[in-house]
Amino acid sequence: MSKSSFKAFVEYKGPEGGFRVKLADNADDLSEEEDDDRTSRCYSEITDSESDIQPYGAAQKQQAEAKKRHDKAWFAAKELVDSERRYVDKLRLLDE
């Protein structure tokens, strides 16, 4: 039976860029370098509560909620404009 070691690297390129997985089976790649510690520390300092990774459906739900808030604000502003227009029209009638 043979023993083999693999090291996987996952590079995340943001929501639009996706991610890339690289498998390395070279023994030289398995040894850590000083630079590896610096870059890995950056990623490990992100806690679960600060993570921006969301389930697939969460983005659609968030967009739907944002649209709902936008629509409510638009209708409220429209109602204010219409009310003011009616008020100004009544003032004109009183002035005549």
Number of domains in the chain: 1
Q: 74 lies in a domain?
A: yes
What is the extent of the structural domain holding 64?
7-95
Q: What is the pLDDT of residues 77-86, one digit of tens each?
A: 999 999 999 9
Q: What distance in Å separates the CA atoms of residue 30 and residue 43, rounded to the nearest whole number?
A: 19
Q: 1 lies in a domain?
A: no
- Give me 35's structure tokens: 């630079």
Phi, psi at 43, each rounded to 5°: -75, -35
At 96 the pLDDT is 82
The separation between the first and the last C-alpha atoms of the chain, rounded to the nearest angstrom, is 103
Q: What distance in Å separates the CA atoms of residue 52 and residue 36, rounded to the nearest whole number?
A: 23
Q: What is the pLDDT of residues 11-69, one digit of tens each?
A: 777 777 777 777 765 555 545 555 555 555 445 555 656 666 666 677 788 889 999 99
CB 7 within 8 A of CB 24: yes
Q: 2 lies in a domain?
A: no
